Amino acid sequence: LSDAERVQAQLAKQGVDAKVQRVAVDNDVWHRVCVGPINDVNELNRVRKQLQAAEVDALVIRIGD
């Protein structure tokens, strides 16, 4: 969890609001750092560029339609 919290704090310093989500996969527990939802494509691209500049790996996931 400390790695996820570290990333969350790093994002907060850049003005990006993020949440840590606990996920159980088989017998493992993972902690995701989630940003969003972001509904505007321009805002999504701006945040993605900001994360890339900060060397934070990001994956865009579409939820619902």
CB 16 within 8 A of CB 50: yes
From 2, 14, 64, 24, select the one nearest 35 (Cα to Cα): 14
DSSP E strand stretches across the chain: 18-25, 28-35
Query: What is the rounded average pLDDT for all residues in the chain?
Result: 88
Q: What is the pLDDT of residue 65?
A: 62
61 class by beta-carbon count within 10 Å (0-12 exposed, 13-18 middle, 19+ buried): exposed
Q: Which tens digit of pLDDT belongs to each residue from 7-36?
A: 899 889 888 889 999 999 999 999 989 898
pLDDT > 90 fraction of the chain, expressed in percent and rounded: 37
Residue 58 has pLDDT above 90, yes or no: no
Q: What is the pLDDT of residue 56?
A: 84
In this prediction the pTM is 0.71
